[in-house]
Amino acid sequence: MRVHRSFAALAGATVLSTTGTRFSAIAIPWLVLTTTGSPVLTGLAGFAEMLPYVVAKAFGGPLIDRIGAQRISIWCDLLSAVAVTLVPLLFWAGWLSIWVLLPAVAVIGVMRAPSDAAKQALVPMVAALGQVPMERVTGVMGASDRLAGTLGAASAGALIAWLGPAPALLVNAAAFVLSALVITFGMSAQGTAKPRSGEGYATELAAGWDVLRRDAVLVSMVLMIAVTNLFDMAYAIVLLPVWVRSSGLDVSWVGILLATFSAGAIAGAAIAAAVGERLPRLLLYTFGFFCCGPMAMGVLALNLPLPAVVAVLLFGGLAAGFINPIIGVILFERIPEAMVGRVIALVGALTWSLMPLGGLFGGLLVDRWGISAALGITAVLYLTAAFAPLVVPSFRQMKRQPAAQF
């Protein structure tokens, strides 16, 4: 029962904290877009959050292994709630210029990074305690992440339309507080990493980097995901909101369209949890990336009718739902037990390393060529990256290996 409680608590906390992250990812860019009217400044706001996120994640891994993933998750969720609350407080005080907002969102990025990495580092330990196949656990966690995307997107769109972006961020802060409480009272002490001592911080960080760079599969995955994440960020914080606004739709449609995609992805991740160990990894991995990026952006670039857009996003989400469970199980199969915190953090940082540029990339494309051309260009570039697994030999080594023992 304690094991099942820990598993449920981790999944629930992931839903809550990721919902909060998705919420702010819509609310803050929309606040900038509606107050300044500038796609470039909207992208700059995304850059200000993502760059500190990547740096904090890259250097936070040894702390997770030393202090414990459970403690890091709790502390950073609570600090995230404080950081997010600053934005509406500054807005109501009349002090929220773009140059005040940028440092505020940078603090949010710094707090979110260790929390996200810590929750992921808890996954293999919970799986081992419950003696559950890793594909099933990563599938459930993938479904939790996608559910959070659905809730965050849908609630953000509705609450921003009703309350406005600044006050709606208080709901975001509440989600982070609830996530910390769920981890505190729902997870047993067995589900957390033990403190480490001995090696210096720099030595531990270097050891994690050495494990990563020597694994050809992990290196190939990191490079590919970093590129696709750049385009995903451009889509989420600039291209989609600008398309919605230029189509005469209100902000709730940003949430509806993102939630539609996430709803399909929940189903895909649930299928992965049920039968993932019997499915072909490479095929589903490649097909998922093709559907989640080029298809979604292509239908918007072509200005297809709204029902067609919704249908394509739903199918694209279904295919994309397999991606994160596949990535998760490959990571936990290939990373040694003692290195989980730091290698997971490094992988997360490197795959997000180009995301700070995503908003700027999208904003500059829209300013130069307009929204339809920007979507089309991004879709073609994404398609090129999505086919990498079919031509890069190291991807063919995605075969199953015995999972690391915890």
181-185, 197-201, 252-256, 303-307 — which is least confidently predicted? 197-201
Give the pLDDT of residue 303.
86
Residue 44 in any domain: the answer is yes
Residue 403 in any domain: the answer is no
Give the pLDDT of residue 403.
44
Phi/psi of residue 401, each to 5°?
-130, 155
pLDDT, mean of residues 48-66: 81
* C-alpha–C-alpha distance, residues 327 and 240, integer Å: 26
Give pLDDT tens digits for 374-387: 999 999 999 999 98
Residue 402 in any domain: the answer is no
* C-alpha–C-alpha distance, residues 77 and 113, integer Å: 10
With cut-offs at 50, 70 and 90, classify the pLDDT of residue 355. Answer: confident
User: Per-residue DSSP letters for 293-322?
Assistant: IIIHHHHHHTT--HHHHHHHHHHHHHHHTT
Residue 222: pLDDT above 90?
yes
* C-alpha–C-alpha distance, residues 387 and 198, integer Å: 44
| Contact between residue 352 and residue 226 where contact means Cβ atoms under 8 Å apart | yes
Residue 301 in any domain: the answer is yes
Alpha carbon 255 to its chain's center: 16
Give the pLDDT of residue 20.
76
Q: Please state, as a whole number, how many other Cβ atoms lie within 10 Å of the Cβ of residue 203.
A: 11
**pTM recorded for the entire structure:** 0.72
Residue 199 in any domain: the answer is no
pLDDT, mean of residues 173-178: 90
| Contact between residue 61 and residue 143 where contact means Cβ atoms under 8 Å apart | no
225 or 250, which is more confident? 225
pLDDT, mean of residues 56-83: 86
* C-alpha–C-alpha distance, residues 189 and 193, integer Å: 9
| Contact between residue 260 and residue 313 where contact means Cβ atoms under 8 Å apart | yes
Residue 286: pLDDT above 50?
yes
Residue 23: pLDDT above 60?
yes
Q: What is the mean pLDDT of the chain?
A: 81
Residue 228 in any domain: the answer is yes
Q: How many domains does the chain have?
A: 1
Compute the chain's Rg from CA coordinates: 20
Q: Tell me which range, 124-138, 163-177, 190-204, 370-384, is most confidently predicted by mean pLDDT.
A: 370-384
Residue 18: pLDDT above 70?
yes
* C-alpha–C-alpha distance, residues 374 and 372, integer Å: 5
Buried-exposed string 227-255: b where 16+ CB fall within 10 A, e elsewhere: bbbbbbbbbbbbbbbbbbbeeeeebbbbb
What's the domain range around 234?
2-185+205-397
With cut-offs at 50, 70 and 90, classify the pLDDT of residue 192. Answer: very low
Give the pLDDT of residue 329.
81
Q: For residue 58, what is the domain's CATH number?
A: 1.20.1250.20
Residue 146 in any domain: the answer is yes
Residue 193 in any domain: the answer is no
With cut-offs at 50, 70 and 90, classify the pLDDT of residue 189. Answer: low
With cut-offs at 50, 70 and 90, classify the pLDDT of residue 91. Answer: confident
Residue 266: pLDDT above 50?
yes
With cut-offs at 50, 70 and 90, classify the pLDDT of residue 401. Answer: low
With cut-offs at 50, 70 and 90, classify the pLDDT of residue 193. Answer: very low
